[in-house]
């Protein structure tokens, strides 16, 4: 599989630098789908536009298979692009939309018909070639936009927040589907999103972007388990950071001991842990030992995923936790860390 490499990529609007010496590589065999994840305004769309050839570089280079793209115009890059709202041609049918890039490339009528059929099968919308695009639901429209972008066999697909305009349930369903579709088409793909769950649903590798630079890349699991710093941990959903100390086989924390071996190689001495609400389990039962950490419940909310609590503790003040059994405000609970939801920062 071919690889897109960015080296020292710098892009600005007027005097303002938006991408600042950015290095990145996407499209490797192991990770055909890469997500670019970052908060609003960090430069994700600018980066996608620079890759597409729509923004000039102030400095640096973008190469495809080692070849510099500086003088390759947008239409010669053979990159497919899908934006947030699909941007289908509203006066045309679904089939005419999917055929658009093929007509421009002067494919024959028979080749176009066959490819349109293949693409609509791929996005699981067979039999709608004759339909007007104004009659489609939001999810169907995004599938058609994907079919249109993939039809001319682009060597790279760029998706800019492709699910942002859809409701939550459809977003999740389509996130899996888009991942399947681009892998089936064997097209390396970059998808821009500000939603960490969407990034994990879609991509093999996630790159976290902050203020014009990539701060960490890795599999979603790697990012949850080993966030590069506290900012990355928070952006990925951490609500608390605590100190921990490796002592023999144990990792000592203000919320009890963990088995150090669970975390793989840890540096000797102190480290910092990133906790999400799911990292802390609260039990209404009294603690087994007097030394076990406890807290008093101050808030309870029933979320679809289970009970979410806020608990006042002596050592750490108010912290977030989850509970499997019903608890009430004012109740004392024992607290236990769930190592499968604990991240170690900065390794």
Ligand X SMILES: Nc1ncnc2c1ncn2[C@@H]1O[C@H](COP(=O)(O)OP(=O)(O)OP(=O)(O)O)[C@@H](O)[C@H]1O
Contact residues for ligand X (CB under 6 A)?
13, 18, 38, 40-46, 194
Residue 48 CB, nearest distance to ligand X (Å)?
8
Collapsing DSSP states into helix, strand and coil, what is residue 114? helix
| 171/194 with CB nearer ligand X | 194
The Cα 179–Cα 163 span in angstroms is 12
For the chain, the farthest-separated pair of C-alpha atoms sits apart, in whole angstroms, at: 79
Residue 14 CB, nearest distance to ligand X (Å)?
7
| 13/291 with CB nearer ligand X | 13
Residue 83 CB, nearest distance to ligand X (Å)?
11
| 148/194 with CB nearer ligand X | 194
Residue 62 CB, nearest distance to ligand X (Å)?
16
Residue 9 CB, nearest distance to ligand X (Å)?
13
Of 4, 24, 27, 3, which Cα lies nearest the Cα of 183? 27
Of 214, 236, 198, 237, which Cα lies nearest the Cα of 20? 214
How many residues does the structure list for the chain? Answer: 347
The Cα 235–Cα 231 span in angstroms is 6
Residue 28 CB, nearest distance to ligand X (Å)?
24
Task: Name every residue whose Cβ is closer than 8 Å to that of residue 130 and which is 6 or more positions away in sequence.
Answer: 93, 94, 95
Residue 46 CB, nearest distance to ligand X (Å)?
3
| Main-chain dihedrals φ then ψ at residue 80, nearest 5 degrees | -90, 145
| 43/139 with CB nearer ligand X | 43
Contact indicator for 19, 9 with CB cutoff of 8 Å: yes
| 84/118 with CB nearer ligand X | 84
Of 247, 238, 240, which Cα lies nearest the Cα of 270? 247
| 164/347 with CB nearer ligand X | 164
| 39/317 with CB nearer ligand X | 39
Dihedral sign for Cα atoms in the order 178, 140, 105, 108: positive
């Amino acid at each position: 599989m071919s690889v897109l490499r960015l080296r020292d990529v710098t892009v600005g609007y007027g005097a303002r630098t938006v991408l600042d010496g950015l290095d990145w590589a996407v499209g490797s065999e192991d990770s055909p789908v890469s997500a670019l994840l970052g908060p609003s305004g960090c430069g994700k769309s600018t980066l996608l536009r620079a890759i597409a050839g729509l923004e000039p570089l102030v400095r640096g280079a973008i190469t495809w298979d080692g070849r510099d793209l500086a003088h390759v115009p947008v239409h010669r890059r053979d990159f497919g692009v899908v934006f947030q709202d699909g941007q289908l041609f509203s006066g045309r049918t679904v089939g005419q939309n999917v055929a658009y890039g093929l007509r421009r490339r002067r494919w024959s009528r028979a080749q176009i018909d066959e490819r349109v059929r293949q693409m609509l099968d791929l996005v699981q919308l067979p039999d709608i070639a004759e339909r007007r695009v104004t009659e489609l639901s939001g999810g169907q429209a995004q599938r058609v936009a994907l079919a249109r972008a993939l039809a001319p066999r682009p060597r790279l697909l760029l998706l800019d927040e492709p699910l942002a305009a859809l409701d939550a349930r459809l977003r999740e369903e389509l996130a899996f589907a888009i991942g399947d579709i681009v892998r089936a088409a064997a097209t390396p793909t970059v998808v821009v999103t500000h939603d960490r769950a969407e990034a994990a649903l879609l991509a093999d590798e996630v790159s976290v972007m902050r203020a014009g630079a990539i701060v960490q890349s890795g599999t979603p699991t790697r990012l949850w388990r080993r966030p590069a710093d506290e900012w990355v941990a928070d952006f990925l959903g951490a609500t608390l950071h605590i100190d921990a100390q490796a002592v023999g086989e144990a990792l000592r924390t203000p919320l009890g001991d963990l088995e150090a071996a669970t975390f793989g190689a840890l540096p000797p001495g102190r480290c910092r842990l990133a906790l999400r609400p799911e990292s802390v389990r609260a039990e209404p039962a009294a603690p087994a030992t007097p030394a076990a950490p406890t807290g008093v419940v101050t808030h309870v909310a029933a979320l679809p995923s289970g009970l979410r609590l806020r608990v006042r503790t002596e050592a750490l003040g108010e912290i977030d936790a989850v509970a499997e059994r019903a608890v009430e405000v004012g109740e004392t609970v024992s607290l236990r860390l769930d190592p499968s939801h604990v991240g170690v920062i900065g390794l």
